[in-house]
Amino acid sequence: MSRLTASLALSCAVSLALSVTTVQAQTAPQPSPAPVPVPRSVPSSFADLANRLLPSVVNVSTSAVLKPGKDEDKGPDASGPDGPQVPQFPQGSPLEKFFHDYMTHKPAPNRPPRRMQALGSGFIVDPAGIIVTNNHVIEGADQVSVTLQDGTELPAKIVGRDSQVDLAVLEVKPKHPLPAVPLGHSDAARIGDWVVAIGNPFGLNGTVTAGIISSRGRNVEHGLYDDYIQTDAAINRGNSGGPLFNLSGEVIGINTLIYGGAGGDSIGIGFAIPADDARGIIDQLRKTGHVSRGWMGLKFQNVSYDIAEDLDFHQADGTVGKGALVSEVGPKSPAAQAGLQVGDIITRVGSQDVTGQTMPRIIASILPGTKTELTVWHKGSIKTLPITLAQSPNAPDMPPSDTHQPTHTKAAFGELGLAVRSIDAEMRTQYALTDDQRGVLVDRVEPSSPATSRGIAVGNVITQVGQDQIDTPDAFAKAVSRALEQKKKEVLLLVQDDDGLRWVPVPFLGN
């Protein structure tokens, strides 16, 4: 469970004042406040709901191999600046603590590689085996597996992930259809509504907790698209990626963050990604494996009360206006082409009212190439500007468009579970390769793939496919494709790692 680092100083003063007054007979009776209706949906028990939903919640187990560094035999300072460093995982990643503990202790000489494991949660959204979890649950892992409620363990493939909103989609191949749960409409959920969280805290599978929605639209400064549901249902480490249900059994949130106590445990303040924010992202990840976000090419900020007063920016009823104040317009950007200027205030995108806080999510939810209209306050007047959104140039979890990116083809990636890239000067430095090193560099290895099962890892160099010398990603892809066309069940790779060259027969997926 990703933990928010926060220092909370709470000062509480509770005062009970009891006042007894004598009401004179001639005093006019005061009107009684309107009675508050008793909610009809207060449950006497969550047992039936829990029994129905538990089979749809899964444990997500991740692991990664930690190889001893070359400096591990240097003594007590081996983990210092000159020794092996803790791998960089996203903040709160389940693997972060394990690697930190491992790397910061004095290493044993000639220690063999170790496989570190961590646990999270997820839920089934398609009976065919599609599962949703948090990105930080699976990021950094080279193997992912899913355990169903009945104890069945299945290897999982990462279909796609989005680090900016912290979502990932997994796929398993079950023998029978799995019990799926629907995504509900989180926008309809209200503060005070009952919710149920189910997950895998501390590895305790099938843990059910209940509470209410404490707040909505929380911005905890965890990312650009913060819009969390806050709940007091107990959420702990290991609940990450698990569902937050309403009483109809619909997923209205994906549990992601907590404010933790001294030990990082639940203190009744948890945060979930709203289902309505997640729905479009999950759909894109299932279809393409990545998320395409709209981009306007501008910077903006929220319009505070003081700014609105200074600019004399008011609504029709005289109250201060709300919107996103433009602070910078990128040259040749969609915003520039639409005619936006610094100092303009965007009040609506299409039919949606916006503020500086909601603007990033609204823009990102629009697909690149979409035409829409901006309602803009410009020096006291309102105007409408047509705009066509572009693809964000910094789209997360997609390779930037430069000449040094790996070539991903069906043959090179899907059938073997790996991707390769050319060896350039940067890669030679990063992986300590010699100037005359030939071949292609393994740039990515899919978890639970044929390549992973044969010990191929990121940073290995493939120099031959069968008898063919390989020097480019295209040559690699063609050689693998030929093997497929010849209906071979596996392909023979000559792989170089820290221990030297070795031939590795890698089966094609499904063999």
Q: Strand, coil or helix: what is 445? A: strand
> Is 240 annotated in some ligand binding site?
yes
C-alpha torsion 440→444→449→451, nearest 10: 30
* Calpha distance 289→396 (Å, rounded): 12
> Is 238 annotated in some ligand binding site?
yes
Q: In sequence order, which ranges of 104-254 are alpha helices (DSSP H)?
A: 135-138
* Calpha distance 302→359 (Å, rounded): 9
Active site residue 166: yes
Closest of 423, 390, 384, 413 to residue 481, by C-alpha: 413
* Calpha distance 71→83 (Å, rounded): 5
Residue from 240, 333, 365, 449 carrying the catalytic annotation: 240
> Is 290 annotated in some ligand binding site?
no
**What are the start-end ranges of the E strands in 148-202?**
153-155, 157-162, 167-171, 194-199
> Is 166 annotated in some ligand binding site?
yes
Tokens at 472, concatenated: 């480019």
Tokens at 344, concatenated: 């303009």
Closest of 400, 435, 405 to residue 422, by C-alpha: 405
Residue from 166, 227, 276, 344 carrying the catalytic annotation: 166
End-to-end CA distance of the chain: 36
CA distances to 102, 135, 152, 242, 272 from 118, in Å: 14, 13, 18, 15, 21
* Calpha distance 464→481 (Å, rounded): 14
> Is 206 annotated in some ligand binding site?
no
Residue from 93, 136, 142, 214 carrying the catalytic annotation: 136
* Calpha distance 94→54 (Å, rounded): 23
- Tell me the binding residues for substrate: 136, 166, 238-240
- Tell me the binding residues: 136, 166, 238-240
| Catalytic residue IDs | 136, 166, 240
